[in-house]
Amino acid sequence: MTVRIPQPRGGTPTTRTRSRGFGRGEPAGFVVLALLLAAFPLLASESVVNVGVYALIYGLAAIGLTLLMGLAGQVSLGQAAFFAISAYGQAVLVTRYQVPMVVAAIIAVGLAMLAALLVGLPLLRLRGHYLALATLGLGIIVTVAATESEFLGATSGIYGVYKPTFGGRRYDSPAEYFWLLAPVVFLALLLARNIVAGRIGRALGAVNDSEVAAECLGVDTFRLRLQVFVLSAGFAGLAGVAYVHWIGVVNPNAANFPLSVEFLLMSVLGGLGSVWGAIIGAFAVELLDEGLRSLIPTLVPGAEGEVQLVGFGVVLTAVILFVPGGIHEVWRRLLARLQRPAPASDEPAAVGTDVEVDAAPLLAREGRPAAGAPLLQVRDLTRRFGGVTAVNAVSFDVRAGEIFALIGPNGAGKTTCFNMISGVLTPSAGSVRLGDTRIDGRKPHVFARARATRTFQNLQIFRSTTVRGNVSVGRHLRSGAGMLRGALSLPARAEERQIQRSVDELLALTGLAADADRPAADLPFGRQRQLEIARALALEPDLLLLDEPMAGLSGAERHDLVRLLRRLRAGGMAIVLVEHDVEAVLALADRVAVLDDGHLIALGTPDEVRQDPAVLAAYLGVGDDQEEVVASAPGADGEPARKDGA
């Protein structure tokens, strides 16, 4: 996307362009991690190094669970099931079929990922505790299947799995096995970090914040959740391979519930907000495990593993209550206090107001339908909620290069129409066509792929990220890096740099450049409205639906928004506007549709609508005290807009 930025007089705004490179302090963090992993076996006793081996093994599974829970927002209690599937697969291949270890590992991890794909297709349609219970059931199924299968050794399991041998060296001591695993864990952490920092990570973080907003920006939420579910199983499968080669045996206990709880505790204690937390949590939990093994029998003579599981439960509950962000969140807050950034200003940034700039078309693109061509066709659109008809047989067209307003009293059905057009709601009857494509009843990401998007009456910003991060999600469909390219990082860097350049241009255009790195949740309400519009424009839509965009804006911000919408119209974009500021809308729109109690009561130019008796009755008592908001704003020709909206 190429955008000409209006420059304020007297200077050029400075914007920062970021690639997907390492953030501040991350390179040093990886260097420190590498040094610690290399030195740990030299500094710790053999028993502690043995604990470290288990921490690395389980840390791999915890990295996958952190991606699934922290990134995709899906709670799983079945991570041990995929761990066990891979461990059993590896044991069978190397002991019974003499498959080389590395080849067997690839097959075993593939089995775990295939199992995740097959169970994820139905299970990921569930949400919240339903998904957690379903994945818990998966672990029980794997445990029972392994116990009852003679091929898998029943309760005894499969034993005799050899220690790894590379270059004529057998890795059979804790120190040697630790050094063998350390590069694997280091690489897994790096790949997971790259995914989180890239296009896929942004999209999944957005889904976790607001699924409907992410869908309306083109994110196929189910597909992405399935991808990360399968990837998470791959990490668990890799951990299962490392586990079976270390202890030499696998039995049904590898899929039991306590192990899933242990993986969960590692992710939560370390911090779901960062993949780094998985490794930190793994070491913390394994050391805690050793401590509980020694402490519980002293406190409760004759206590078995069930009491130890209670200890894990107490720790997990305490973390959720007192440190919900885990160790990573504590560390982040500490750094924030030490850095003490200067407070950000809530004053809107200056946006250029030159007549020449205000008249220039904005975001025009080749291939966009010609001005005046039918773009959106709504026919007999109806929505019923039980016995209540919220929208009844509404029909209208929207043309390219026009501002079309949809107005009406509260409860008239305006937002319901928006929801049906954008795919958030399925119509009870009627049809919606965008160009030549019928989109009614389709998901919002289909609407977005047809180059259309929307904002929301109730703000749907992505609160867990920054202003720049929000607008970057809007570029999801204008970029293409998938899971593999994102993990490898280098192939996606050029694309990421282009995304950030486009984002910085849009932030400057909408007056948000000064807040680019500010948490979106910290913006004032009016600036959050502007952020939603900037994020929608990042999609480069041909059709833009704005649901009450002027709500919460100051007078100056409204003037800027009016200028922006006129420039977008001049660039050929079609804009459908729902707004309660009736006089402002009538002065801005080319055509107006009026809804009342779910029925279309008027459709025409602003002058025609002003004089319609049905409209006058619906709006009895509405004055013109706010008419100057738009009337005084420069029109597309640089002159103040006339009162009749011409």
- Whether 133 is covered by a domain: the verdict is yes
Least confident of 114-118, 166-170, 615-619: 615-619
Q: Which residue has the higher pLDDT, 71 or 442?
A: 442
- Whether 152 is covered by a domain: the verdict is yes
pLDDT at 483 over 90: no
CA distance 184 to 239: 10
Residues 6+ apart with CB under 8 A from 333: none
Length of the chain: 646
pLDDT at 362 over 80: yes
Q: Are 480 and 559 in a shared domain?
A: no
- Whether 287 is covered by a domain: the verdict is no
Q: Are 638 and 547 in a shared domain?
A: yes
- Whether 57 is covered by a domain: the verdict is yes
Q: Which one-letter amino acid corresponds to residue 6?
A: P
The total number of structural domains that make up the chain: 3
CA distance 365 to 502: 14
* pLDDT score for 55: 96
Q: Are 382 and 499 in a shared domain?
A: no
For tokens 């946006």, name the residue.
351
- Whether 428 is covered by a domain: the verdict is yes
For tokens 């270890």, name the residue.
101
Q: Residue 378: pLDDT band by 50, 70, 90 thresholds?
A: very high
- The model carries a pTM of 0.84
* pLDDT score for 357: 52
* pLDDT score for 330: 82
Q: Are 225 and 136 in a shared domain?
A: yes
| 496-516 pLDDT per residue, tens | 899 999 999 999 988 899 999
Q: Identify the domain containing residue 62 by its residue range.
A: 43-255
* pLDDT score for 127: 77
Q: Which residue has the higher pLDDT, 475 or 553?
A: 475
* pLDDT score for 9: 33
Q: Are 93 and 234 in a shared domain?
A: yes
Mean per-residue pLDDT, 249-269? 91
Mean per-residue pLDDT, 263-284? 88
Q: Are 484 and 610 in a shared domain?
A: no
Mean per-residue pLDDT, 373-388? 94
For tokens 């966009």, name the residue.
368
- Whether 156 is covered by a domain: the verdict is yes
Q: Are 71 and 125 in a shared domain?
A: yes
pLDDT at 518 over 90: yes
- Whether 38 is covered by a domain: the verdict is no
Closest CA relative to residue 69, chosen from 195, 199, 209, 229? 229
CATH of the domain at 570: 3.40.50.300
| 554-612 pLDDT per residue, tens | 888 899 999 999 999 999 999 999 988 888 888 899 999 999 999 999 999 999 998 88
- Whether 578 is covered by a domain: the verdict is yes
Are 67 and 196 within 8 A, CB to CB?
yes
Q: Are 204 and 122 in a shared domain?
A: yes
Domain boundary among 255, 278, 296: 255
Domain boundary among 255, 280, 307: 255
> For the chain, what percent of residues have pLDDT higher than 70?
86
Q: Are 418 and 564 in a shared domain?
A: yes
CA distance 326 to 291: 20
Q: Are 435 and 408 in a shared domain?
A: yes
Q: Are 144 and 213 in a shared domain?
A: yes
Q: How far is CA 36 from CA 23, 84, 247, in A?
A: 21, 29, 24
Q: Residue 623: pLDDT band by 50, 70, 90 thresholds?
A: very low
Q: Are 561 and 413 in a shared domain?
A: yes
Domain boundary among 236, 255, 274: 255
